[in-house]
Amino acid sequence: MADTSAQARHVAIIMDGNGRWAKRRHLPRALGHQRGVEAVRTLVRGLAETGIECLTLYAFSSENWKRPGEEVDDLMNLMRKFVKSDLPEFIANDVKLKIIGDWQGLAHDIVEMLEDALAKTSGGTRTLAVALNYGSQQEIARAAAKAAGGGEITPETIAAHLDTADLPPLDLLIRTSGEVRLSNFLLWQAAYAEMIFVDTLWPDFTPEHLQEALDEFARRERRYGGR
């Protein structure tokens, strides 16, 4: 059965290319990550204008712990600054924060900050879901274990225990920087999502790039295995 619905309700982005952006400019990787955060901030500010109900961003994977310790520390500190500085803006823009992944395994102060942000933004009408310490295979394994504890394991019972169970189905997945792979991100949810891979490095990704992707999505015919 074909679906010609033009509006993407749930969009996910693999934000790739911060390091390469910095390298091309002979700048520290940390500055590339800072510019990447600015790109996130700009997109969130314009979220209401897109019609998107949920934007899910791949911020820190469970595999990112393998990076050099200094870079991991920079990323964690950026996370602290982002939550602290942007929380009032989330509230003002009616944005609800959601965290997916094993985020409670992060540093204690970050967990406390996130818990506070989740509580203070719970009334938002549009959702920003941030994947932190996230790995899709691990998520599916957790969901399957929970489904088994309740009896029958089916696609429906597994889906009901995913981190994204309360979010709209994933419509569109975008990856920046020219890489063409999912990197253990939303593997289950992406089963019938449309995918768009762009060459733009994440710090250069703008609301205009997002709108181009949404326009491309609107031109596609979603078939879900049918003709």
| CB of 136 closer than 8 Å to CB of 63 | no
Candidates 64, 102, 184, 204; catalytic one: 64
Backbone angles phi, psi at 118, to 5 degrees: -60, -45
Report the distance separating Cα 57 and Cα 173, nearest Å: 10
- Catalytic residue list contains 93: no
- Catalytic residue list contains 16: yes
Burial class (CB in 10 A: 0-12, 13-18, 19+), 209: middle
**β-sheet bridge partners, residue 96:** 127
| CB of 134 closer than 8 Å to CB of 106 | no
Taking alpha carbons only, the member of 12, 3, 2, 1 closest to residue 187 is: 12
Candidates 3, 16, 77, 171; catalytic one: 16
User: Would you name the residues annotated as active-site residues?
Assistant: 16, 64
